[in-house]
Structure 1
Amino acid sequence: MPDSPDTHLPLKPVVFEILVALAREAGHGYGILKSVREHSEGRVRLETGPMYRHLRRLLRDGLVAEVDPPSGEDSDDTRRRYYAVTGLGRQVLAAEGERLAAAVDRARALRIISG
């Protein structure tokens, strides 16, 4: 039986942001760090060591895959690894987005947040 996206939920906020960064485009470690910092407006703190631990787990679980460098990227540095979200990773990201949206809807219905 194929892996169900729901078996990976809920995602930690930092893992959600890593997947969001990689859903935009394939990236390497520093690029992922930079993207998470920029797009979360500094709300999600991600350090190098934990990021690579999360990436190893995401690779193991089949949510991301190692890919060739994008065209135009300098591929001379053989240490640099590029990652992209897999089909399962996109399904998990969508399921988590729906889960979070439902939580926001409940909070609005209870007037915990406005909107």
Structure 2
Amino acid sequence: MKQNDKKSAEDIIKYVGGIENISSLTHCVTRLRFVLKDMPKISQKNIENIPVVMKALETSGQYQVVIGPRVTDIYELIMGEIGNEPLESDVTENNEKIVDKIMSTISAIFTPYINILAAAGC
């Protein structure tokens, strides 16, 4: 891990509205995937100015922060800050079941690769 990763992780937490605004956090190959309690607390401009952040966007009920190949390092640092306990129960605030959330996340992970597969003729 690089020295600045800890500062970047702290800044990401701060600019998504703090620990108390995070319902859950997962990651895929390149992105942190936050489910936040209050989206207006996000400081979009500040997040996009963090050196490790390539892009940040809201999609499919998640706030996604694109980090790239170092996403696992940043994820582990954030989880160290917020604690390793689950951040939400089996049912979210809007009664969405955890299975639905998992399927939605899996779908969001593979969606960017559809164009590549189509272009490759697979």
Q: Give the TM-score of the pair, scaled to structure 2.
A: 0.36
Q: Give the TM-score of the pair, scaled to structure 1.
A: 0.38
Greater relative contact order: 1 or 2 (C-alpha under 8 angstroms, separation 6 or more)?
A: 1
Bigger share in strand: 2
Which of structures 1 and 2 has the bigger CA Rg?
A: 1
